[in-house]
Chains A and B, each alone.
Chain A
Amino acid sequence: MITTSDLTKVYDKTVVVDHVSVSLPDAGVTSVIGANGAGKSTLLSMISRILDADAGLVAVDGLDVFNAPSREIAKRLSILRQETHMTARITVREVVEFGRYPHSRGRLTAECVHKVDEAIAYCDLGEFEQRGIHELSGGQRQRAFIAMVLAQDTRYVLLDEPLNNLDMPHATSVMKLLRRLADDHGKSIVLVLHDINYASVYSDRIVAMKDGVIAADGPPESVMNADTLESIYGMRFSVIDLDGDRIAAYFR
């Protein structure tokens, strides 16, 4: 379990994350939603120790993320962020191999090779494995990075807006992949999403943030209703039931 207590981040006197105490489960898909600036990515960055907190604690399976050895955390929790590391000309396989770094420090064991092969196959990247990541499409590249965290073999997989810049087929295939990871491998997937309907369809739990605090937290059935969404985003919603999925419309 990941627990935060009174986690706070302040930028130039603006409180971006305001004393957030939340527990994230050992399994399943948890989506973090909210408007721009609500503090979603900041929260995820602090949980994954990429960003220092101004106050508060994060514990991953009882380990204090800010003080435990980074490598120990890296065996339990992985984080994928959108950043411009695409300038590197390295192959898909090399990227996936980096996932084994916390375990082997770059000297791959037989087990590592096995995990890398497995991750590549699982993410359907076999034909691309010797290609450079800079040559791939956005969706393929996202799958390569997901394969990397799969090879990293952590219980918790955190993703910051993994659907950014993806078209609908690629976005859906990424979400299906994440769902399978949770179902087949028993992993806990925590992701920041802007598309609330993907959150609704694929999540076990939705955590909604507004102005640095948690505004709603529960299964999609409890969060995906017009009143709650309106209070989170400050705009009109209508929520319909589509074959058992709750879909929100917000276009007018």
Chain B
Amino acid sequence: MKSSSRIAAVAPWVAAALVLILGVGSLFLGVADVSLHDVLTDPDVRSVFLISRVPRTVALILAGAAMAVAGLIMQHLARNRFVSPTTAGTIDAAALGLLTATLLFAGASVMSKILIAMLFALAGSLLFIVLIQRIQFKDLILVPLVGLLLGGVFRAIAEFFAYRNNLTQTLDVWLNGDFSGVIQGRYETLYFAGVVALVAYLFANWFTVAGMGRDFATNVGVNYKVVMGAGLTIAALATAVVVVTVGAIPFLGLIVPNIVTLMMGDNMRRVLPTTALAGAALVIACDMLGRWIIFPYEIAVGTIVGVVGSAIFLVLVLRRNRYAQA
């Protein structure tokens, strides 16, 4: 741990610096030419800056941090490094919930949509946990495969009803995060995701203890079921807020916690802030990439993160013998 403890010491600062640099970059990247000088002098430019660029960047930071933290919590609670909102069916369950809310309660407010999506995401995660507790071989790869299958079932159900109600395009939008529509007044619910990440930090020790196993948690007087329920609720709420507000960001909750814990160990209180920052940095980077590749058009951040994320996921899976089972 000698050399890795040095990495652990600088990692939070590197992540914070990346968020700062990329965040500033994001503020000044877009179709409209925005420079710092214009922001200060030109009222039109300033309104583009305040109505579009600032909200978009803040939304990226909040959504990225929340999804990474949700993934970190889920991998601890499932005690499997490859469990995340993407690989446990949580995202698909949230989308199914959002569809249900849209179909059954046509005029539902954003908050009630989030609530219903969260309940579905929570039910999906609980079903996943029950399933993996029943399977005999809790293999590193098998467990997330079960989750992906479960997510596929949720998605199929959602697609069926979406198709019958002419909502398939809407469903696609939910399942593929995109920040191009983020302007002032249409992203503020993401602050909930930020609050959720903060709450997760307050209870970080709980999650570390629960991640050591049920017996270990019971021994030190921690109620395992309560921690499990609280953790899954936090992850479900973060996922639901992000899916409802900007659409799903796949793989983020999978790869960011893996990379950060690889460098910094598994003590949640220590790794959670860096995980949140790294998640934010990665989403900003992917969003900027999406804004730049086919400029002046945009590729949705969900697509970019999906490509980058699944590639990194493959590398992690192939390298698993070297670290994940350590």
Query: What residues of chain A have their CB less than 8 Å away from a CB belonging to chain B?
Result: 48-50, 69-75, 78-81, 83-85, 87-91, 94, 98-99, 101-102, 105-106, 130-132, 134-135, 149, 152
Contacts and interface: CB of A to CB of B under 8 A. Distances in A.
A50 B265 contact: no
Contact of B208 (A50, A70, A90, A132): A90
Contact of B5 (A78, A85, A130): A130
Interface in B96-135: none
Contacts of B213: 83-85
A55 to B, nearest CB: 20
Contacts of B79: 85, 87
B315 interface: no
Given A130-B1, A131-B1, A90 B265 contact: yes
A245 to B, nearest CB: 32
Contacts of B215: 50, 79, 81, 83
Contact of A134 (B208, B214, B326): B326
Given A105-B205, A135-B1, A89 B216 contact: no
A132 B263 CA distance: 12
Contact of A98 (B212, B214, B223, B326): B212
Given A106-B205, A130-B1, A78 B219 contact: yes
Nearest to B214: A50
Contacts of A87: 79, 81, 325-326
Interface in B172-222: 205-206, 208-209, 211-216, 218-222
A94 B216 CA distance: 14
Interface in B209-250: 209, 211-216, 218-223
8 contacts: A74-B220, A79-B218, A81-B215, A85-B79, A88-B212, A91-B265, A101-B221, A130-B5
Contact of B211 (A80, A88, A149): A88
Contacts of A83: 213, 215-216
Interface in B233-289: 261, 265-267, 269
A108 to B, nearest CB: 11
A78 B208 CA distance: 18
Most A CB contacts (10 A, CB to CB) among B79, B211, B213, B325 go to B213
Contacts of B1: 91, 130-132, 135
Contacts of B216: 83, 85, 98
Contact of A101 (B5, B81, B205): B205
Interface string B70-84: 000000000101000
A98 B220 contact: yes
A134 to B, nearest CB: 5
A101 B220 contact: yes
Most B CB contacts (10 A, CB to CB) among A70, A78, A94 go to A70
Most B CB contacts (10 A, CB to CB) among A48, A80, A89, A99 go to A89
Interface residues of B, number: 27
- The 9 A-B pairs of least Cβ separation, nearest first, read A74-B221, A71-B221, A106-B205, A101-B220, A102-B221, A85-B213, A89-B265, A70-B221, A85-B212
A79 B219 contact: yes
Given A83-B216, A102-B220, 6 more contacts: A71-B221, A72-B221, A85-B213, A90-B265, A94-B267, A98-B216
Contacts of A72: 221
Interface string B293-306: 00000000000000
B265 A132 contact: yes
Nearest to B268: A90
B285 to A, nearest CB: 26
Nearest to A78: B219
Contacts of B209: 98, 101
A91 B271 CA distance: 13
A89 B261 contact: yes
Nearest to A158: B219
Contacts of B222: 70, 101
Nearest to A104: B205
Contacts of A94: 265, 267
B212 to A, nearest CB: 4
Nearest to B216: A85
